Structure 1
Amino acid sequence: MRMPLLLLAAVLGGTALVPAAADLPAAPATAPVRGPIVQMFQWPWDSIAQECTSFLGPKGFGAVQVSPPQEHVVLADAGYPWYQDYQPVSYQLRSRRGNREQFAAMVQTCNAAGVQIYADAVVNHMSGTGSAGSGPGSGGSSYSKYDYPGVYSDADFHGCRRDIANYDDKWEVRNCELVGLADLATESEYVRNTEIAYLNDLVGLGVSGFRVDGVKHLPPEDVGAIFGALQDVPGTGAKPYVFQEVIADGTTTAGEYAGNGDVTEFAYYGTVANAFKNGSLAGLANLPDQMPLPSEQAVVFIDNHDTQRSSPTLTYKDGVAYDLAVAFELAYPYGTPQLISSFAFDNPDAGPPAAADGTTEAAGCDNSAWVCEHRRTIIAGMAGFHAAVQDAELTGWWDNGNGQIAFGRGDAGFVVINREGGELSQAFQTSLPAGTYCNVMTGELSGGSCTGDAVEVGGDGKFTATVAANSGVALHAGAKLG
């Protein structure tokens, strides 16, 4: 994260002691879903439930990353900014997006639609200096910095009570305060067990995984002890999927945390987003060789809620260039793709559309205040492409040395992307079986016909197409007529 529950006694009382690091089970590597993860940033629980049933499940999305579900500060004087949700004051499930009952119903509904829920977990810190005196929290809890009645007291926080000044000092990064946020002593057995109880509460409701916020500010062994001690997801026999936000630098590497689960690969966002912004795509041919993490441990993205605001190389505001970059992310076989569906903003601190008391209004794609990137034609079509090609190998890479590329995914799919200002017209060699395919960048297979363009692949695996400027063609076996 970058930005300017009270637990029931019965829950805490039933928490097992933290096991030794050597005894921790290995976290699953790569997301256990076919479709991509989509971060439904700041969407309320009822709206996510509806979207899982009406769109995300049917279109092949695999999981939703939801915003932090725990009670948080309420910053009315600052206009209820987005980042208030990343300042916990307790672990009860009552945020501006809904209450415990609504959260549980959303998880159940999405799971039934074939869409897993991954919760954004804030375990490094509690509230900050900037929220002092703003209480109560979103669930009505009273608190002050370093004192959260029934949860944490002064002794549960690190003694370095100043902002991180030197990011070259790993001790300081992990023990001092990130922009004034009370830094939890996660090496403490009590703190670990309190967080494990909260996370297991979410797992018990059917949450299948976690995105872990601000991981570079935590020692790897603390992350491993907390998330390695989680119970199995009900009905699966599997541990929750874990992916960790690590903004690597010269002091902290993503690889330090790979033993705990997957890691967000910020180098990918820099490389791919810049290539599509500049229109020079040929250099992406050997993308894995440019990445610090192996594919099976990387979670990749074109933008997320932080980069949209702090370093917006490409966002929804960039139109088709953004859509094509996401299409590439969903087509090229590197990493687990994470998308975002966000709300429109001009002020980087602005929160989501809200009522007068700061509670989030219902999200919906018929309201222009919600961007709904996941419903854009190219992105929605490529979610199904990603689900269809899965582990098929990269084949037949072609490029013109600049902004036009094409490649296959074995005999399961084929993609052409034209990021240049002129048409691309030629024959393409694929490994696809002969037949008529829907170009899922322009529509879908519905009722036995294509709602967008149709492409004929011959018996030799070739097809000829004229690809307009800043557009593409994507064919896969799941969108083949007949």
Structure 2
Amino acid sequence: MALQENYTQTDKSIIQTRRFYDVTLKHALQFIAHLLLPLMLGIFTVAMTINQQNMAREQRAEDQKIAELQRDLERKLNDERYQNDIRDAYIKEMGELLKENNGSLMSNPVTAAIARGKTLNIFRELDSQRKARIIQFLVETKQLSEAQKQRPLDLSTAELHNIDFRHSAVNKKVLSNIALSGVFLRNATFMRMELGHATFSESQLDDVNFSLARLTSVKFSSAQLRQVDFSFARLNYANFLSAQLDSVNFTSAVLTSTDFRYAQISRTSFEQTSCTAARFDHANLSNATFRYADAKGASFIRIDLINVDFSHANLYKADFTGSNITDSQLRRALSVQDAKLPNGTLARDPNLINNGQANCNVSVVGSWKVEIGNVTAVMVDENITNCQFTLQSVATGATMSQLIDLSSNFHKNSWPHSQAVLNARMSIGVSIHLRGINSSGQILVQQNFRTKDPASAPHRHTAVHLFEWKWKDIADECIRFLGPSGYAAIQVSPASEHAVFSNHPWWQRYQPVSYKLESRSGNETEFKDMVTICNSASVRRNNGDQGPPSDDFGNTNSVSISNLTCTDRWICEHRWRQIYNMVGFRNTAKFEQVRKWWDNGNNQIAFGLGDKAFIAINNDNYNLSRILETALPTGRYCDVISGQLEKGRCTGKIIMVQSDGKVEVNIADTDEDPMIAIHINAKV
């Protein structure tokens, strides 16, 4: 029983303890719940307050930003108004000065000083766009033109930075006769523009863009050019005399008769440039490159060229007199043919044709593929260094060929503008067939060359002098010996009637007294028979000085004309197109005065005859490419040298005269007739 009572008491105690803990936990949870509610409300209140403060700050920041933008806009608008006002005021003041000085700001020193001061001051105040407008105003009022009798407005020391000069040009393209001497140009643009007779002498140009521009007679003498871009530009008669060029880019530009004499040129690229007849005499070329350049006829007199790269350059007829250049540099060039070396001798290109000089000590079949007949190398005049290829059988003839790989000589990018020159001495009847073949064997171009001699029969090359022979004796000799022996032609004494002296000296044959074919060699009939007989024997008469046929009284006989054409070379000169068209030229402008004369100081000239006609002639060994002035009305003209007007259409070149009377003249030195002629009666 006692044990049972103990258990009972213990159970009661446990139950009471649990009840105590249950009451305590309940009260604690209630207490915490009552405590969390105000705490959550407090936290929410604090969060709301912070969020409202943040929103207020953001709103204030946004309001401040809007206010700043408004102030910036107002400042910008005020600045725009200010710049417009001072620009307009400048133009108005300059206009008044122009009126007061008969259109010239340089007419007197005081006006010139005022104009210069106002202009330099306005450049300090205006942005680049408005500076361009000021230059446009000065150009349009002809105050920057050197073509006028008065001097241009002096803009030296002006800072013309970040200007796009296309905004100052006519049609954003043409800007002529502008004088910008002594100015500072940085990050300026002349891209794709046409500049004629502009002046940048003694100016400083940094990061200026002339790419794809056309510059004619532009002066950069004594200027400083750094990182200037002339890539793909065309420069005709540009002047860089004594200029300083650093890191200038002429890549793929065309430089015609450009003057770099005494210039300081460093780190400048002339790669793939055409600098025909350019002059670099006495210049300092340091680390410049002429890779793949066409420097035909360029002059490099008295220059240190050790650090210049001429790899794959065309140096044909270049002049290196007194310069310092190595053989390895010349070997890396594409061509040095006829270039004048420092010692005064002429350079020669290596022959690309294997055994092209007919070496008597080398077998022909070792370098040539003989396809028909037999060919041998034969010594001429008992000189082992003077050999020639000779047929073993004239009747059979021969054909030989050789494949020449030009891929190592020509860069693929310059191939369309390159040429391989073939020089050959060929006898009458020999022909050369050239074919250009690509790597796939496709024929790209082909051409035939052959020699022709109307005074010699085919495959015959030797003429014989039969002076003072009788015509009958010559005819007999042609039949019995000259023909069978392979002689080509005979040269005879003059056939005309001549003076007769008592002692019959040899020179009396050369004293003609009439056109009668009557001499001590025979009469006209005998002369004709001799010619006929010798021609039948393949022996031809050679006397290029004989004139047109005459009758016994000295009257010239009629010329035989077939199909209304006269084919004799020196009888019908009056029928040559170039001659009878120039008769019309002279009839149009006979009494006009010479105007707009131009020449390059050598053999290129041009001039007009009043406002009726214009002619340009290129007798130099390089191209004439230039914009020239004429006095002709604007319009399209037919060049009467290369063609003529037929039913309102021109069969030759069409020359365009612009509204300012200027004309673009392009005459290659290789043209059949290196000249053009136009007149008002040949307008298309």
* TM-score (norm. length: structure 2): 0.20
* TM-score (norm. length: structure 1): 0.28
Bigger CA radius of gyration = 2
